[in-house]
Each structure stands twice: as C-alpha cells, then as structure tokens.
C-alpha cells in the first residue's frame, strides 16, 4: 500500500506539477497559494518550513522603520504564503551549519518589479518579486539569500544606518535618515564583497550549486535581456478587423527617439559596486571551493513555479503602482511565454483600458514608467507603440483586443468588455450597461447580457 502510494506521489509530481500556466490567482497572505510550491516544500524542505506561529508580521509591525510600516500596511509584503515559506525554507537550509543564526532572521517577499533585496538590522530580509522573476534556479536564489545573510552576520545594515544617521544629523539632512531603503541600497564595495563571500560559503555547506552565484550576480545587476516580445508577436496579438496594426507600426518604427536602448545599469541598480570586480572576486572564491570537488545538482526545474508566480505578481505590482505601460509590457511578454493565459489577457485588457483613459484625458505621460532601464529588451517599443497611437486608435485597439478575447468565461473580463464597449461606443450605451450591470451582475446574468448585446 505504502509502495503504491509512493509511486502515485512520484507519478503525480512528474505528470502534474500542481499549477497551471493558463491562469493565475494572486498570492494570498496567510493562505496556501501555489500547489506546485506546496508540493516542492513538502518534498524538499519539510523539516525546514517554519511553524505556523512564526509566520506573522510581528517583527515588521514592531519595526520602527517608517518605510517598512508603510509597505506592510499597504499590503506590499507577503507573509505566510507559499512563496514566502519557500524562501524561508531555502534560508533555513543555508544556516543549517550555523545553528546560532536560527531564529535571528525572517525572509519576506516584497511585491515590486525593482530587482533587489534588503536586510534590516532586526533580521528582516526583503526579497523583491522583481528579483525572483529574474533568477532561474534555486541555487541562484540561495546566493541572493546567502548574500543578505552575509550582510546580517557582518552587521552591515546596522553600521550603514548608524553612519547615515550621523551624517544626516551633522548636516541637518533629516529627510535622508527617513528612508532606510535608500540607505541600505548603498553598501560599500567592501561590504558587498564580504556578503558575497559568506553567501558562497553558506551555499557550499548547504549543498547548493555555488557556480550559479555568478549567474545570480549578473542577473541582479544587469538589465533583464529576456524581455523580447517581437514586433511580429505584437502585430499578431493586436490583429483585428477593427484595427489596422500596420499603419501604427509604421509610425512607431519611424519614431526612433522613443526607443530605450538597454543600458548596463540604472539608478535602482547602482547600489552594488562594479559588477566585474565582484565577479572576479567570486570566481576566485569558487575556484578555491572547487578543489573540494563537491557534487552539486541542477535545481532549475524546482524554480519554475517560483519564476511563474514572481512574473505574475510583478504584473500586479506594476498595475497597482499605476505603471500601466510596464504592467502591459510584462503581460504581453508573459502571454508570449504562456499562451492563452486568462490572467494575462485580463491584465492586458485592464492596462490598455487605463492607458486609453489616461490618453483620453491628455495625461498619458503620468502613466508611463519613469525608470525604464531595468528592462534590457524592447520595453521602449511597446511604450512608443502606445504613445504614437491617437486617442481614438488606442480606444479602438483596446476595444478590439478585449472583444477578441472576452469569451474566455472570465466574469471580470466581461465586466471590462462592457466597460470598454461603453467607452468606445459612447455614453448612450454606457447608461444601459451600467443600469443592467447594477441589477443583474449579482445574479451572474450580466455576462450573458453583455455577450448577447455585443453579438
């Protein structure tokens, strides 16, 4: 019986890894999230999952740091969900050989597209979804967490914050002492290299593939070059009898100044010393480790659900920050990777709708992301495409896209379908849809009503 159960579990873990790439439900705090991650946690980290009583925000609530308080209060920090549990399990594995560190830190997921990680003096480590989406193996993640633990072990956050406070007082720059994030993004090169060394050491003793540290570092510090939704793909995505993509593309292509060329670094990434110096130092450390000839296995497969979740959470994070061009770009890129994903179709629709609303009010610039350089692909191309469209073209494009995709059975998408129909067709229709919506949506008849109306 046990044997057959074991076979069944193994079979299931190979046949169905527990998550679908055709939809996505946002991670919920204190609740189970992804089945795939649950399965992975149970399989690999059972003994390392923190007890439920530990999964709370007490340390963060007690934090005197105003910035952290705001992140928590605004729901930007995940806790008690499968993704946070997973990160904590990796962290626990890293410190298994250093029992004195246990219970001195806690890893949280910070929902933002900015690729970074922060460690606070109280042991709170925040890893952003932007960073998680860039990585591609568990070992790369282990390096990130190991590096942050290195900062904590060496008390870098405490020293750096104290130093900044002192300077702030000295020059009466009260605003500088207020933002610990800015301060903690400015460690000295020496601090960073010390943390790298500890990260590698922890990875080695926990059996992670320390060679992945080099890739991890490159991914943290360089723009993400994996973003390349092609022009052909964009044309295909927005193809519709209602809308002529070709005419717009010609305009967009000629508008070269709107293009943002990939750059080596940007403001959000200038927190680390020059990449090359750190890479050389890391290579030297790894060369010393390799003499011990430890066998390490490839763990990129285990990272697949984490990457998927991080990508989807990034789309939500940029949407809720009002960065609709970024959220649209990430959704389009996502749909290229995960075709027919209902969540992505919904997010493209919502973002197009908001961009069209901004454009309608002559305020599109407000919805465009200021810092574009974290993407090394063709972010500028998507942005130029949206910027070049006239108000009416953008409305038509939005209407066409939602109309072409709304029969997915998603009730929320149907709501947007009705809304864009009003927006596109005029205010007369608006009243009809809204009054019907008010009366019938609760009973679930609204979707049917809109479908019939639009046929």
Q: Which residues of 115-137 are buried (b: 16+ CB within 10 A; e: fewer)?
A: bbbbbbbbbbbbbbbbbbbbbbb
**Pairwise CA distance, residues 454 & 419, whole Å:** 12
Q: Is 57 in the site for another protein (CB under 8 A)?
A: yes
Q: Is 56 in the site for another protein (CB under 8 A)?
A: yes
Residue 366: CB minimum distance to another protein, A: 6
**Sequence-ordered list of residues with C-beta below 8 angstroms from that of 293, at least 6 positions apart, any chain:** none
**Pairwise CA distance, residues 88 & 105, whole Å:** 9
Q: Is 411 in the site for another protein (CB under 8 A)?
A: yes
**Residue number, 201 or 422, with CB nearest to another protein:** 422
Task: Please report, as residue ranges, which positions from 188 to 247 form the binding site for another protein (by CB under 8 A).
Answer: none
**Pairwise CA distance, residues 264 & 240, whole Å:** 37
Q: Are 130 and 112 in contact (CB under 8 A)?
A: yes
**Residue number, 241 or 444, with CB nearest to another protein:** 444
**Residue number, 16 or 412, with CB nearest to another protein:** 412
In the chain the first and final C-alpha atoms are separated, in Å, by 55
Task: Choose the binding region for another protein from 70-78, 233-241, 278-286, 303-311 (rule: CB under 8 A).
Answer: 70-78
**Residue number, 319 or 449, with CB nearest to another protein:** 319
Distances (CA, A) of 433 to 99, 124, 191, 402, 423: 62, 48, 60, 16, 11
Residue in the block written with tokens 């608006």: 430
Q: Phi-psi bin for 29: left (phi > 0), alpha (psi -120 to 50), beta? A: beta
Q: Are 114 and 62 in contact (CB under 8 A)?
A: no
**Residue number, 95 or 420, with CB nearest to another protein:** 420
Task: Please report, as residue ranges, which positions from 1 to 30 form the binding site for another protein (by CB under 8 A).
Answer: 26, 28-30
Task: Choose the binding region for another protein from 144-152, 191-199, 319-327, 395-403 (rule: CB under 8 A).
Answer: 319-327
Q: Which of 22, 263, 270, 320 binds another protein (CB under 8 A)?
A: 320
Task: Please report, as residue ranges, which positions from 156 to 185 form the binding site for another protein (by CB under 8 A).
Answer: 173, 175-176, 178-179, 182
Task: Choose the binding region for another protein from 153-161, 286-294, 359-367, 379-387 (rule: CB under 8 A).
Answer: 359-367
**Pairwise CA distance, residues 328 & 356, whole Å:** 12
Task: Name the phi and psi angles at 240, rounded to 5.
Answer: -165, 150
Residue 58: CB minimum distance to another protein, A: 8
**Pairwise CA distance, residues 451 & 414, whole Å:** 8
Q: Is 286 in the site for another protein (CB under 8 A)?
A: no
Q: Is 339 in the site for another protein (CB under 8 A)?
A: no
Task: Please report, as residue ranges, which positions from 369 to 388 form the binding site for another protein (by CB under 8 A).
Answer: none
Helix (H) or strand (E) holding 253: helix 245-254
**Residue number, 73 or 236, with CB nearest to another protein:** 73
Residues that bind another protein (CB under 8 A): 26, 28-31, 56-57, 61, 66-67, 69-70, 73-75, 80, 173, 175-176, 178-179, 182, 319-322, 350, 353-354, 357-358, 360-361, 363, 366, 411-412, 415, 419, 422-423, 430, 434, 437-438, 441-442
């Amino acid at each position: 019986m046990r044997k057959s159960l074991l076979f069944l579990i193994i079979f299931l873990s190979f046949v169905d890894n527990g998550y679908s790439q055709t939809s996505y439900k946002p991670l919920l705090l204190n609740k189970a999230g992804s089945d795939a991650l649950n399965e992975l946690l149970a399989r690999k980290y059972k003994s390392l999952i923190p007890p439920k009583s530990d999964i709370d925000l007490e340390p963060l609530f007690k934090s005197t740091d105003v910035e952290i308080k705001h992140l928590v209060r605004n729901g930007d920090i995940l806790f008690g969900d499968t993704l946070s549990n997973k990160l904590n399990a990796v962290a626990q594995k890293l410190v298994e050989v250093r029992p004195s560190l246990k219970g001195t830190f806690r890893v949280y997921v910070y929902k933002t597209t900015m690729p970074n990680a922060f460690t606070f003096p109280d042991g709170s480590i925040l890893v952003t979804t932007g960073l998680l989406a860039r990585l591609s193996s568990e070992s790369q993640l282990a390096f990130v967490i190991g590096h942050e633990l290195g900062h904590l072990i060496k008390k870098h956050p405490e020293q750096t914050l104290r130093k900044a406070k002192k300077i702030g007082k000295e020059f009466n720059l009260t605003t500088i002492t207020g933002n610990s994030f800015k301060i903690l993004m400015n460690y000295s090169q020496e601090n960073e290299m010390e943390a790298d060394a500890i990260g590698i050491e922890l990875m080695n003793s926990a059996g992670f593939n320390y060679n992945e540290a080099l890739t991890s570092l490159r991914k943290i510090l360089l723009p993400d070059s994996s973003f390349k939704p092609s022009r052909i793909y964009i044309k295909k995505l927005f193809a519709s009898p209602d809308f002529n993509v070709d005419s717009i593309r010609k305009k967009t292509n000629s508008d070269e100044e709107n293009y943002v060329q990939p750059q080596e670094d940007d403001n959000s990434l200038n927190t680390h010393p020059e990449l090359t110096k750190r890479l050389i130092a890391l290579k030297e450390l790894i060369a010393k480790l390799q003499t011990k000839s430890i066998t390490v296995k490839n763990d990129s497969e285990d990272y697949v659900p984490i990457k998927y979740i991080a990508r989807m959470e990034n789309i939500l994070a940029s949407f809720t920050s009002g960065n609709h061009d970024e959220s649209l770009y990430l959704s389009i890129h996502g749909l290229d990777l995960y075709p027919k994903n209902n969540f992505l179709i919904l997010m493209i629709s919502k973002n197009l709708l908001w961009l069209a609303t901004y454009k309608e009010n002559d305020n599109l610039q407000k919805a465009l992301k200021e810092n574009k350089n974290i993407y090394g692909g063709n972010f500028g191309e998507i942005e130029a495409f949206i910027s070049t469209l006239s108000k009416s073209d953008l409305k038509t494009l939005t209407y066409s896209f939602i109309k072409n995709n709304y029969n997915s059975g998603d009730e929320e998408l149907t709501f947007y379908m009705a809304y864009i129909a009003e927006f596109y067709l005029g205010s007369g229709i608006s009243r009809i849809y809204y009054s019907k919506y008010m009366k019938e949506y609760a009973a679930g008849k609204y979707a049917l009503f809109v479908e019939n109306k639009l046929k």
